[in-house]
Structure 1
């Protein structure tokens, strides 16, 4: 007989792009009465506040992408150790399934699940299968995708893909489809610039240079909220100082859902989580893909929004003040176009992505386990 309530292990860590979807799934599974544990790397303590009601367990992990040959060897040893730790954990906890969210912190528990024959579901945030998910895909029951078109060079892997969308945090969902308040000529125009954790310096270089070159009457309309690296804030502030632009700068904003909701236009990297949040709220965007992203996946992500008419994209090598100025003048003078883009952005979104992912996770167990094991006790 199938157990109604199960124990599910989430494998995640690293960047927000991997962690936010895991948190959203945890909330859905907990709400349905399931037990949830998060297995992550040695930085696990920082996730305690983000995952209330979830037991957090740590295993060894490392990325072989840094440190040259010696770094690769050390990482391989740590990952191997993490797999052995994870095998012990999974045997003791007897989860119904393991759900991995990509990135090297997810690899040891996901690999252990594959070795032990425990149902493994992978969630891919980007439009191209990431390196770790690609390595694990052969053992996966399903691969939940955030984009309707997610690339894999293997047909057998593509057949495992199920489109669920990219779950976003509850704070974003609370702003779902907030009406887009157009800015007509002469009215305040709210511009939000989100740099993210990698490569934000190019936004700090280009955005102020483009904005201060705009005609004075347009500068007076602008209210700019810009995320910068801490080391860039001083010079960005100096660049704006002689302009007519109202500016707020910070390396971190607590109120991102409100900022996106209030924005008439967003300029951002095209990481999957950022795009999902912009789409769920429904805002037009200019995306500047991080050109060093693995397999150039940020460009592929952005192209999906461009095809839908929800965004413009400027590749990093083309992201010059003159180019940005040209696009800004086109958009700021056309409130109807911006409103149409906002509607098309929300048309791409799936506010129910976390629910769909939870349903897929639970269904995978029901399909594979006619008699689920009793969940093991989570040890402190």
Structure 2
């Protein structure tokens, strides 16, 4: 079926991987269904061309009023206003069936412009609490797709708009679902994966190597560590590991995350929305260290479901010390049955068909406008 026969969908996203990755997964799903897809984003559009094959990319003005003080707020408001005008012109030409916003300020101009034109607006919220931009747009939205079953919203009318779809993950991660947890008893090495999100996390570089160095030598010899570090942290992290018995693979960025996730026995990570979704789909246990400055403490909220189900261990950043981490690692390494149990529990948190669920919701709202049709938060085709 030709794309023109089904229509044109516009995705509004940009900024961090937490916003971009689910947009990328939805774009692939909509393309497979025969839709034409355009991504409207900010000046970083060229960066996304490889991530969104087959998708047209339009850049519009955007800025965050959270930086630069009072002058920064005025500048941001001006740029956002220009972005809305640019979006109005573009959307009148495109005539999309729906606009899907993924949060972050790059999504605001297209989503706001769509609401002015009467185009159905579907927001996707990755975290367990509505983000700032999605809160601002929620009143104008036709529907709000949520990654977590219990997503916090203070206004009852917003809760009525919510549909639990899950958080879409890229195809390469989705293909890991159902893969067997690596057998610790027969493995030559215990593989530990440490990442701090797209930008890395200095606190992991500060604490993890020293905690590994504090482990008994016999445990160190069993470890194979893959760790992402900020570029400026690589040398000092390497020096700490040189005085241990562990095998290491250090880098500022890893291209083969699906492979690394599949092979690891335990991950130490932040608890951003995309990280939580990928861990659940891959079925890998984790020690989670939420970013303490995340807005509304949403990373800790993201981790709660996994922790409550026994799928992860949570350590707040203030309590993430060498002594605390060493104690937990010794316990888990000495009791591999706990890790296997955690791996089984984390899979129960996965929403494997999140991209399909979100695409179903988009199609429904594109066809029916603001009419709602859902049962218990599940979309009905």
What TM-score do the two structures reach when normalised by structure 2? Answer: 0.94
- Separation in 2, partners of 1:196, 1:355: 25
SS in 1 for 2:348: helix
Q: What corresponds to 2:290 in structure 1? A: 289
- Separation in 1, partners of 2:109, 2:177: 35
Q: What corresponds to 1:376 in structure 2? A: none
Does the 8 Å CA contact 1:182/1:335 hold for their aligned counterparts?
A: no
Q: What corresponds to 2:54 in structure 1? A: 53
Does the 8 Å CA contact 2:126/2:146 hold for their aligned counterparts?
A: yes
Q: What corresponds to 1:126 in structure 2? A: 127
Does the 8 Å CA contact 2:305/2:349 hold for their aligned counterparts?
A: no
SS in 1 for 2:183: coil
Q: What corresponds to 2:222 in structure 1? A: 221
Does the 8 Å CA contact 2:220/2:246 hold for their aligned counterparts?
A: yes
Q: What corresponds to 1:106 in structure 2? A: 107
- Separation in 2, partners of 1:242, 1:277: 33
Does the 8 Å CA contact 1:199/1:290 hold for their aligned counterparts?
A: no
Q: CA deviation at 1:198?
A: 4.7
Q: What corresponds to 2:270 in structure 1? A: 269
Q: What corresponds to 1:9 in structure 2? A: 10
How many residues matched?
368
Structure 2 residue 159 is matched with structure 1 residue 195: no
Does the 8 Å CA contact 1:168/1:354 hold for their aligned counterparts?
A: yes
- Separation in 2, partners of 1:78, 1:145: 28
Q: Deviations along 1:77-136, whole A, 9 cap, x unmatched?
A: 000000011011111111010000000000000000111111000000000000000000
Q: CA deviation at 1:199?
A: 6.3
Q: What corresponds to 2:332 in structure 1? A: 331
Does the 8 Å CA contact 1:186/1:221 hold for their aligned counterparts?
A: no
Q: Deviations along 1:225-244, whole A, 9 cap, x unmatched?
A: 00000000000000111100
Q: What corresponds to 2:307 in structure 1? A: 306
Q: CA deviation at 1:186?
A: 8.7
Q: Deviations along 1:157-216, whole A, 9 cap, x unmatched?
A: 111110000000011112222100131399410000011245600000000010000000
Does the 8 Å CA contact 1:137/1:157 hold for their aligned counterparts?
A: yes
- Separation in 2, partners of 1:39, 1:65: 21
In the superposition, relative to structure 1, how do residues 70 and 199 fare at CA in structure 2: closer, same or farther (>3 Å)?
farther
Q: Deviations along 1:312-341, whole A, 9 cap, x unmatched?
A: 000000000100011111111121111111
Q: What corresponds to 1:378 in structure 2? A: none
Q: Which has the bigger relative contact order, CA under 8 A and spacing at least 6?
A: 1
Q: What corresponds to 1:206 in structure 2? A: 207
Q: CA deviation at 1:311?
A: 0.3
- Separation in 2, partners of 1:101, 1:333: 42
Does the 8 Å CA contact 2:200/2:252 hold for their aligned counterparts?
A: no
Which consecutive unaligned segments of at least 5 residues does structure 2 have? 372-381
In the superposition, relative to structure 1, how do residues 305 and 369 fare at CA in structure 2: closer, same or farther (>3 Å)?
closer
- Separation in 1, partners of 2:257, 2:8: 32
Q: Deviations along 1:31-53, whole A, 9 cap, x unmatched?
A: 11111100000110111111111
Q: What corresponds to 1:35 in structure 2? A: 36
Once the two structures are superposed, the pairs formed by residues 99-178 of structure 1 within 5 Å of their partners are: 99-178=100-179
Q: What corresponds to 1:184 in structure 2? A: 185
Does the 8 Å CA contact 1:214/1:325 hold for their aligned counterparts?
A: yes
Q: What corresponds to 2:88 in structure 1? A: 87
Q: CA deviation at 1:217?
A: 0.1
Does the 8 Å CA contact 1:40/1:56 hold for their aligned counterparts?
A: yes
